[in-house]
Structure 1
């Protein structure tokens, strides 16, 4: 399967409501994870340092960064504070 084939398959699958919803959820989770990692690296912090600042463990930070653990809004705010960042969430009509 080529990338073009994969992209066409995804495009077709997105027409199915259940797939589209699952895709949107995973896309959002990926973007949040990407931002956490990027900010941590920009700040020159280790996972251990972020964990200490957020009141959690390094293994939790690793699981979050690996996409193995969903996070609550409360945890997201703790991580944002540890990274000296703000959280902004907006709901947009479809």
Structure 2
């Protein structure tokens, strides 16, 4: 069977329209997925393998892999530890979209 090219953004939008539950879960997890995606990009920029990053952080390679595949959500401590190993830190900034309640 041949592979079919899928536009991920279109597929997400389609599923959000089809299911309010999917839309809710997607919106709740979107920022986490974005941060993990940035972490993966940083690891690759630094030309580190998952195994090398695991050694630097005291984790197993499988832990890094599960985080990157979004199978496990890292604790804040683990996420910050990974960022430190990559030479970065996590900062909190006020959102441009913030509105007082």
Question: How far 1:26 sits from its partner (Å)?
Answer: 1.5
Displacement after TM superposition at 1:9 (Å): 5.8
Q: What is the total number of aligned residue pairs between the two structures?
A: 90
Report the structure, 1 or 2, having the larger helix content.
1
CA RMSD, Structure 1 to Structure 2 (Å): 2.8
Aligned to 2:47: 44
Q: Is the 8 A contact 2:15 2:22 kept in 1?
A: no
**Displacement of 1:21:** 4.6
In the superposition, the TM-score normalised over structure 2's length comes to 0.70
Higher mean C-alpha displacement, 22-31 vs 34-43: 22-31
Higher relative contact order (CA 8 A, sep 6+): 1
Tell me the TM-score normalized by structure 1.
0.75
User: How many Å apart are 1:23 and its aligned residue?
Assistant: 2.4
User: Is residue 2:58 matched to residue 1:55?
Assistant: yes
Q: Could you list the runs of 5+ residues in structure 2 that have no partner in the other structure? A: 1-6
